[in-house]
Structures are given as C-alpha cells and as structure tokens.
Homo-oligomer: A and B are copies of this chain.
C-alpha cells in the first residue's frame, strides 16, 4: 500500500509509513465502495464513482479511492479499540465515506467551487441537476449499507447516521448563514464546525464501536472523542486555507482569504478588538481579489490579531479533550497506537 509516490506527502517529505488505520482503509474501502456504487443506475454510478476517485476523468476505473479515507480509518480503528474485528465495521466505514462525499458534492454546488482534488467538481463536470442527484444517491447508499444486515446494531447505526446528517446539515446551514450575515461569534463558529466536520468523525467512531458488545456509555464517549478530533482537524484545515502550500492543498495561495471566508482563525482575528483586528476588518470589507502584497498583509494581520495562535491552541485543547473522553476505557495497545498516530496526522500535516 505504500510507495514514495503516495500523493499524501509534500514533495520534500521523506516517505513515512502510512498510519495503520489509513493503510487498512485503503485496502478494504475501494472494493467495498464499489460493491455499493455498482447498484446505482449506470449514469449515476459513473458520477458517484468519479467523486469517490474510483473512476478517473475519462470514466475509467482506477482500482482505488481517493481522498484521505480518514473517516473510514477511524471506524476501523475504533472497532479494534473495543475488541471487535475491523472487517465487521466495513459497512460503517463505507457509510461515513459515502456521506462525506455526498456532502462534498452538494457543498461544491452551494459554494460554486470548480475544483477539488485537482479535478473538476462534479457539478462543473456533469451539471448541477446530475450533481444534486449524485449527492442524493450517495446519502441513500450510506443508509442502504448500514441497514443491510438483519441485526439490532443495523437499526442503531441507521439512527445515528440520520442524527449525524441532521447535525451536518445544521452546520452547513449555519455556515451559509455566516456568509450572508456579519461576523459570527467564535462560539457560533465552533458550533458550526462541530456540526459540519465534528459530527461525522464522531459518527465514524461510534459506528466502529457497534461491532462489539460494549457498555452503553462507550458509544457516546467514542462519538465525543471523534467530534473533538474532527474540530481539531477542521481548525488545521482552516489554517492551511490561509497558510497552506498550494502544491499540497490543491488550492491557490490564501484561497480562504481571497474568498473572504469566515473560517475560525479569521473570525477569531476579526473579533479580537485590536488594531490589527480593525485593520483586517477594513481590508476584508474591500471587494475584488487581493494583490499579492495585500494578501500577505491580510494573512499577517490574522496572525497579529491572534487568529493563528488561537486556532492552534483550540486544536491542541480539542485533542486533549478527545482523549479525556476515553479515560478509563481499556483500549487495546495496538488500537490506541493507531488512533494516536491518526490523531497526530490530523494536526501535524502538510496535507
């Protein structure tokens, strides 16, 4: 599964071993995803498989899925963590990956984004009607996957998947609201992130635990674990949206600043009530793209107003809280190592 050509790495990095959770997800997920997408009406199937990276730009099967498969990796590792067999958790891993991609397809339409993962977004490639439908189809397949087996955990998985999607959509609704209105409070911003990113990673961890008999509170505790890690992940993503290397992020330099996004570090900076904060607000209110020197200044002001430090500290705090959620649970050593490795990757990443 490993090679020096792995697209996860920045060009300068040596090739470290792929975290075990991600290696396992990359092995198990592509055939499992195809097992489900194959059931779709052919036109829809091709589009869904394009989004998942199972097909390339010319519609040819790639034999692999793209994206980081972080969410499925958490499902598999959490199954291991509670003493279950990760293979039994594959349908849950499939479900979270399908839901993630469904929401990406729909979000790209809402945001008018033209590129993702260095390829055209689904709506840009196949038109808005088919993109709406492809997103719907992936949401649906996720429920089909978790409800297929006749056993009580299937009902539980369906129900938590539905609750999670409700949180995810609440988060996206709040995010769209931020773009229409003034600067939100940092609390509102974190609530939005918990819904939009935290909830699905929380669901991933909960679904993993369903493969073994566990005390009733463990599902909730693993879900909180994932939720906080998800928030940390998003905060790092937001930092990369400002300071990330375009060769690695696949987005232009300072993409979030150019789009006047109200991501968490920017909201923290805008609400800091300092001279840097006020200067930032003035520049943010100007229309049109920033020139290169303006862009550098805006990023510098976010930093000076404390946005960068706040986001790093909040991410660190969330990771700590995440682990607090599992205190007293006897997690098998190899699973704990795998989760630690994955959690570290979420924040110490160039990708």
Known: A152-B152, A155-B150. A110 touches B132 (CB 8 A): yes
Q: Is the CB of B162 within 8 A of A144?
A: yes
Q: Could you jot down 10 A-B contacts, CB within 8 Å?
A: A39-B166, A41-B174, A109-B132, A133-B173, A137-B166, A143-B143, A143-B159, A147-B158, A150-B152, A150-B155
A15 interface hit (Cβ, 8 Å): no
Using a Cβ–Cβ cut-off of 8 Å, how many residues does chain A contribute to the interface with B?
43
A163 interface hit (Cβ, 8 Å): yes
Q: Point out which of A109, A165, A173 has the most chain B C-beta atoms below 10 A from its C-beta.
A: A173
Q: Is the CB of B129 within 8 A of A109?
A: yes
A169 interface hit (Cβ, 8 Å): yes
Give the distance in Å from the alpha carbon of A41 to the alpha carbon of B44 in the complex.
30
CB-CB under 8 A from A143, the residues of chain B are 143, 158-159, 161-162, 165
Known: A129-B110, A170-B44, A173-B43. A163 touches B136 (CB 8 A): no
A321 interface hit (Cβ, 8 Å): no
CB-CB under 8 A from A111, the residues of chain B are 129
A297 interface hit (Cβ, 8 Å): no
CB-CB under 8 A from A109, the residues of chain B are 128-129, 132
From residue A106, how far is it (CB to closest CB) to chain B in Å?
5
- Which residues A166-181 have CB closer than 8 A to chain B? 166, 169-170, 172-174, 176-177
Q: Write the chain B residue with the least CB distance to A44.
A: B173
Give the distance in Å from the alpha carbon of A320 to the alpha carbon of B43 in the complex.
33
Q: Is the CB of B176 within 8 A of A130?
A: yes
Q: Is the CB of B177 within 8 A of A133?
A: no
CB-CB under 8 A from A162, the residues of chain B are 140-141, 143-144, 147
CB-CB under 8 A from A150, the residues of chain B are 152, 155
Q: Is the CB of A170 within 8 A of B41?
A: yes
Give the distance in Å from the alpha carbon of A2 to the alpha carbon of B344 in the complex.
64
From residue A182, how far is it (CB to closest CB) to chain B in Å?
16
Give the distance in Å from the alpha carbon of A132 to the alpha carbon of B133 in the complex.
10
A139 interface hit (Cβ, 8 Å): yes
Q: Write the chain B residue with the least CB distance to A137.
A: B169
Query: Of B43, B154, B165, which one neighbours A155 at CB under 8 angstroms?
Result: B154
Q: Is the CB of B132 within 8 A of A132?
A: yes
From residue A102, how far is it (CB to closest CB) to chain B in Å?
8
A40 interface hit (Cβ, 8 Å): yes
CB-CB under 8 A from A148, the residues of chain B are 159
Other A-B pairs beyond A44-B170, A154-B158, 15, CB < 8 Å = A39-B166, A106-B136, A109-B129, A109-B132, A110-B128, A110-B129, A110-B132, A132-B132, A135-B136, A136-B136, A136-B165, A143-B165, A144-B159, A147-B155, A147-B159
